[in-house]
Chain A
Amino acid sequence: MKRFIIAILMLLTAAGLSAQDRRVDDRQPTIGSVKGTVVSRQGRAPIGGAVVTLLSEGQELYSLKTGSDGTFQMPNIANGRYMLTFSAPGYTASVTNVLVEGFVRDLMFITLSPLVTEERTDVDDDNFIEFDLDDSGYSDTPSILFGSNDVYDNAVSYGFSSIRFKNRGYNSELQDVMLSGVRLNDALTGYSPYSLWSGLNEVMRSKDVTSGLQTSPYAIGGFNGVTNILGNPADVRPGLRLSVLSNSALYRLRLMATYSSGVMDNGWSYVVSASARLGGNDWVKGVYYRSFAYYAGAEKSWDAHRISLFTFATPGQRGAQNASTQEVYDLMGDNMYNSNWGYQNGKMRNARVRKTFEPITVLKYTYSPDMDFESATTLLWRTGSNGYTALDWYDAPDPRPDYYKNLPSYAFMEDEDYGKSNVDKADWMREAWVNRLPEYAGYQHIDWDRLYRVNYAAADGRAKYVQEERHVDQNELNLAETIKWRANEHNLLHAGAYFKWNRSENYKKIADLLGGRYFLDIDSFAERDYAIDPVKLQNDLDYYLAHGEARKLYLGDKYGYDYLAQIRKAGAWVTENFEWGGWSANAAASVGYETFWRDGLVRKGLFPDDSRGQSRHANFLVYSGKVGLAYVIPTGHRFSVNAGYFNDAPTFNQSFISPRTRNTMMDGLTTKKTLSADVNYQFNSMGYNLRLTGFWTQIKDQTDLMSFYDDREHTFTNFAMTGIDQRHMGIELGVKVPLFAQGLSASGILSMGEYIYTSTPHMVQTIDNSAEIVHDEDVPYWKEHTVADENGVVKTYKHYVPSTPQLAAQIGLNYNVNYWYLELNAQYFAHSYLDMNPGYRTHSAVGGPDGIETPAEIAYMAAQEEFAPAFLLNASIGKSWYVNNNQIGFSLQLNNMTNNRGVKTGGYEQTRLIDSSDKKRSYRFDSKYFYMQGFNYMLNIYFRF
């Protein structure tokens, strides 16, 4: 570790020295000039009409526009240090320092990042956040692509979000999301961190985006792109902006105000922003927002220095959604039914509420003596709390309305083999669900009044039902350094180093006693097995030993579990870009070291020796390498190939068998290895725009963990799976064609892939109460396998990476004229699959009680559900007006205009099994699903002064 830090320091020192070595030569002329070519980062297309301005000490000296080929030349400039700004509509403005030392100073390519500017694309990241249901098996958010002038990326980022499209089938943890040069993917899970700044769209709008295997100036990135959000005050568009947004899919109302000073004459800039997202929506009852956001920052630039300080947070709460089985949706007549809420005193209340306040503070210093060198150092601190409420209960019936024992299928199934034949009772169960009289609401939704009454009746006020709040409170300090150095006209070097320190406390606390007086800190699952041994029941054994009884819990008290996740990461990377004529190439490498451990803060009665204190430290050497080669033909064609290899550490959350109870890590924990490559062709000229990409990615040695009640073991178990491999391959096509009329164009998008599991993972199943291993075997039906049908014909079945369409297509018409725009598109999605439960793919589940695996049993138990294809029609319209230099505009999006309410977007298989009446085979519990909303709108009205 120490050696490693020294290596990083040496790398930084070397870079610094080389920057200082360039001295002014006395013999040169006293007048020079500056020239260069302004190009887009995406496809390196020339940007014509870009404004280039030369400044000296805040005074504008000279300004010109680039030619249609993107080139410019500024002659007759006295030697000295200047500031050069570049701006073009649709791109992030760029500022650089330039040193004129006689002769012609060729800046080569000035790359501008495409900017997400248009209000019609005001997608809010909230769309993806509601899905983080950590206890329902569906815990990932799709990766978010950001629009750019790449036709494909643009369409996918805004048009495919409602179906939870994951580009190339990758999880969000595979996409690097950075703020001000610091990678901010969640340190415990790897998930996208967008929720940390949702509601701050204006200030976080400027970003630098790469996709696939492309490298970024801020990191070498993985194989699913890098998004770096600039976030600093000087990069926020100047002016006062107000907007009012209403939508029917998520929250009713958003109010947002932002003021940005821009860079003032004295070199200062400052920005303040605030927003509120409020209300429910048309589709999912109980989902609501009471979220706010603020941002404040200041920045000062002088000479070669820029320093900025900003802080922001999104305090608030929102109600979450839950998945149910199709039986429940059909009974309710609503695929958007949400079992998380119910009435309390006649008022709607959601049991699952996410409550967050996680402020982030950033201090960034940039040193840029000239155009050729820039060094940026960022210190980022994240703190605060993140809670997620849920019902908890002790020795009382399951309060969830859609608990399987409350459903008609629990009493009666058509298929006699299920052994469920009580029609009368099924009728009673059905009546409770289908009767729409108000007095039946307590059967269809959480009956809060009943929970209170149970607590009122408890003998001495010991609550039976409480609302808990599970916390993951992160404290994270990041230090990142990035360097850009253009050594000469052919070589551009990006390099950087990072250090991350994360200490996250995981615990739960009492959020509401629901009319009870206190709750007791004991483990009700342990009580089932060790009822007469009070020591084993203790969540906090030390408290019990000191006081002779379990802790009585009152409002706000921590209970259940309490441990720290301790995570450290450090590393360095370098990217060399080489350009020669139409050729460009890059090579990149990174190396790093990651370590994490669990630090238990309470001693658990079940595991007195392995719960309190530190676990062993898991250490991983991580590294990656990338190469890319591209060739541009000046007529607008570009060919490129990229390849990379990545050796990444597993995440903290995928490493401990039962982190809530003990320090034990999974056996065979190893790094995840990924090999990825893509081939691209792009054409960009005269309004035509096309990209065709083929990609191939192999990911090896992933792990997964789940916990569930095992009917055969009669107890709660943990299921740890190692050696999960998958392969993603496919093509992407985006094409845009101008049509006969001015401002009219047509576009087509296609994403066609095959994302499959390719290995036979190994699983170890342990009893949660005793750590006893009950199964240690392979999961044979996880990957492709064969089954003979009743005629003896052998067929092969593949198993797919779930929860995203593997085929997605869109055709659209765009009309853009005189500040009006109109867009109409039709979309088709297919080959989306349900997330698989590995427990169903084991020999013991397939064999059933008799242990004999018949082809019919294999076909049934191993089958993976494919969702029906979906067809969607969407439109948007917008217009803006200029009144005395102020802009007023609106945009209106109409999504899913055919009101298609049968589109499954995800879900999961349950874990439990039902034995057949003849005890020869098993049946699965019904799967749970999420559906897409039907017709919905989003209207945004904005003012800019």
Chain B
Amino acid sequence: MKKILLFAASLLLLASCEEWEPVLAFKYDAPAPEPVVTMTPTHTIAQLCKMYDGAPLRITQSLIISGVVVSDDQPGNFYKTLYIQDETGGIEVKIGRNSLYNLYRPGQTLFVQCNELCLGMYGFKSGTYGGQGMIQIGATDPTGEYETSYLESPLLVDAHVFKGAQGPLVNPIVPTEAQLPKKSDTQVTNSLIGKYVTIKGLTYDNEIFCLLYLDSTKDKKAATNNVFLSDTNPASDPTHGITTWAMSKNRMTQYLQSGRWDACEVARGNDHTGVFLKDLRGDGTYPEVEKNAYSVSHNFVMDGGKTVVIRTSGFSKFGDLEIPKDVLNGSRKINVTGILTMYQGSIQMTVNSEKDFTYEDGTPLYN
């Protein structure tokens, strides 16, 4: 009898202490706040950008940059990525996780250990404005499709991106029209590129750009799958009736089903198909056309004639907001605050939220 009890007791002792933790834990203590990291940068952002030499560069030594977060992906206009800036410039860090603002809020100082990461360029690398894309820091992209890829792996992120102190929001720089980058400027030649700026005095220029796919699961480069809503397709309707900053899936469906886009051709560049959206109308629901959210670029012009494109993601929470009529008809100018990027030689602004649009006198477009 005693032997049996002893045997039973010994079996109980075999149990690990860990398995009893949730049994005995009636309450879990709240974890301590995250410790603040302090590191010494070895390079400025401008110095890092200068290292880019036309091809993706995998960094193989300890190289630390530091910057303050200026982008905010909460409203959804930035997706899986963030911008940091220091005195010398701004750069995109392609983190590749959702809802980054939860961990990296605007005003947060970040240290990026670039060792093992890859410096690359996105956008126009060749052609008229060659070498003019945006320099980014990310992971390597062995596919060669892009020069960098998103970090994505939580371990990869945690091993390279460190959180310093949370500070106040950065005040945007307000450049004059003359200070803004020219067609041939890059992050190396103009420190405004990649930074958080306010551009004042913009007049609507009645021109939009948007690329639709008939089926996003199919080849996105096939002419039969592309519809470019632009100032030339057709030239008679350069805005295509789009009065919102971007379009959600539902808003896109409404635009499409209004018939305003019927004269647009399914085509890519000079590769024409002769098929127009009106041919796909079907019962009025355009069954062959995929309904999805789309980004839209709206052209604005400054007093000196400089074009500024405001590009907004269809997945942003404010993309369906109507641009006020007095802006669309050119009777009122706006100021816009956001990250200044370059695309095909044009200035392209990406805002954090609808609060970044104001009239010229500073009153917000949206309350």
Contacts and interface: CB of A to CB of B under 8 A. Distances in A.
Interface in A608-644: none
A347 B21 contact: yes
A529 B320 CA distance: 10
B126 interface: no
A147 B155 CA distance: 52
A288 B142 contact: no
Interface stretch (A21-29, A224-232, A445-453, A692-700): A445-453
B307 interface: no
Contact of A349 (B8, B14, B28, B153): B28
Contact of B156 (A428, A440, A458): A428
Contacts of B97: 397
Number of chain B interface residues as a range = 35 or more
Interface string B317-358: 111110000000000000000000000000000000000000
Nearest to A528: B315
Interface in A419-466: 421-425, 428-429, 431-432, 440, 443, 448-449, 452-454, 456-459, 464
A849 B97 CA distance: 27
Given A253-B12, A279-B20, A429 B153 contact: yes
B257 interface: no
Nearest to A419: B143
B25 interface: yes
A411 B25 CA distance: 38
A728 to B, nearest CB: 39
B99 A405 contact: no
A396 B105 CA distance: 13
B19 A428 contact: no
A302 interface: no
B303 to A, nearest CB: 31
B33 interface: yes
Contact of B98 (A396, A711, A881): A396
Contact of B149 (A422, A457, A528, A939): A422
A73 interface: no
Main secondary structure of the interface of A (DSSP, over half): mixed
Given A452-B31, A712-B217, A347 B155 contact: no
Given A452-B31, A531-B76, A279 B19 contact: yes
A286 interface: yes
Contacts of B151: 425
Contacts of A915: 217
A285 B23 CA distance: 12
Contacts, number: 172
A288 B149 contact: no
A454 B154 contact: no
Given A246-B11, A280-B22, A515 B30 contact: yes
B22 A431 contact: no
B15 A425 contact: no
B153 A411 contact: yes
A888 B318 CA distance: 74
A85 to B, nearest CB: 34
A350 interface: yes
Given A281-B19, A531-B318, A849-B217, A395 B8 contact: no
A3 B306 CA distance: 84
A941 interface: yes
Contacts of B16: 280
Contact of A423 (B8, B12, B98, B142): B142
B292 A714 contact: yes
Contacts of B217: 711-712, 849, 915, 919
B74 interface: yes
A398 B99 CA distance: 10
A487 interface: no
Contacts of B5: 941
Contacts of B11: 246, 248, 937, 939
Given A425-B152, A429-B155, A532-B318, A288 B23 contact: yes
A711 B250 CA distance: 17
Contacts of B103: 453-454, 457
A422 B139 contact: yes
Contacts of A290: 22-23
Contacts of B21: 347-349
B248 interface: yes
A290 B21 CA distance: 11
A867 to B, nearest CB: 28
A426 B148 CA distance: 15
Most buried by A among B1, B30, B139, B320: B30
Nearest to B157: A428
A919 B215 CA distance: 11
Contacts of B319: 531
A457 B105 contact: yes
B140 interface: yes
Nearest to A515: B30
A53 B23 CA distance: 49
B24 to A, nearest CB: 8
Interface in B97-118: 97-99, 102-103, 105
B8 A941 contact: yes
A530 interface: yes
A344 interface: yes
Interface in A263-302: 278-281, 285-286, 288-290
B33 A431 contact: no
Interface in A908-939: 915, 919, 937, 939
B28 A421 contact: no
Interface in B25-58: 25, 28-31, 33-34
A937 B16 CA distance: 16
A319 B99 contact: no
B283 interface: no
A244 B4 CA distance: 12
A458 B248 contact: no
B317 to A, nearest CB: 4
B141 interface: yes
Interface in B220-252: 248-250
Nearest to A711: B217
B87 interface: no
B361 interface: no
Nearest to A403: B154
B33 A425 contact: no
Given A531-B318, A850-B218, A939-B8, A453 B31 contact: yes
Nearest to B222: A919
A714 B213 CA distance: 14
B139 A348 contact: no
| Interface pairs A-B: 5 shortest CB-CB | A280-B19, A432-B155, A531-B317, A428-B153, A449-B31
Interface of B: 1, 4-5, 7-8, 11-12, 14-16, 18-23, 25, 28-31, 33-34, 74, 76, 97-99, 102-103, 105, 139-143, 149, 151-156, 159, 166, 215, 217-219, 248-250, 292-293, 315-321
13 contacts: A280-B20, A348-B21, A422-B139, A423-B142, A452-B31, A457-B166, A464-B99, A529-B249, A532-B318, A532-B320, A711-B217, A714-B292, A715-B249
